[in-house]
Structure 1
């Protein structure tokens, strides 16, 4: 799964300095354009990876194991968590934008919210009779969607606050 995220990781590493340079130069529209372009690329790549995980999860898992039970669990895992992939790509780009504008607190907050949404219910669910592992995977999907929503709201707020540059007097 991590290999499928590598293009978005590389994109995120390039977004922060490009947007950061434009932020430092006072080019608000370029900062926004950097986000839009990177978000579209990340969503596209992650959409393709998600489709692959839905179409051929067994082929992806069988590289690591030939055990039928392990492959069956892996297939179910990929089919469920791949619903996170587009959102995860967008979250990664948003995190890079927060870094570019010099405020990483929103990324920390949204990550903390996601972890809490998964961890606290997972602990409670794991103590229930009949606990199923896939319950946690569904929690993850919901948590990532909440994180995406919060990230986009906070990014919009940061754009409004930080991209109001005063014209240079000359």
Structure 2
């Protein structure tokens, strides 16, 4: 446990402990409120989103860059756009348009689908579903266990401005 102290810089350790205590007080007050009110509602509203929403964040978040090239300046090669169902797109705030988000970070989340339509001629093909994204990513992860230099090479369409390999060295 001594080594765990190195995870948080010493000047910040007091803030981390205080934040942890605030979280414990909030969760304890939520449990007390649920008991006093005789209702599940406080638990559903305070702790529930973390319990029933984290799996979705993990599922969609892994797709962003998993198995793709790193240390490249061209976001088309290190990010993935995945076409998702409307519910997942809403929960994920359209971050499934991840290449577009990295190329134009100031575009608001609600405009990312329109941006995709405007620039898709310059992007690698989007994965048509979450399942397809995982079908591409999981084999890459397994190969990376044996060869850390392996990555999925995204193919740019013929209409795309070419990627310059000399930029990879920067």
The TM-score range, normalised by the shorter chain, is: under 0.3
State the TM-score, normalizing by the size of structure 1: 0.27
Rg larger for = 2
Bigger proportion of residues as helix: 1
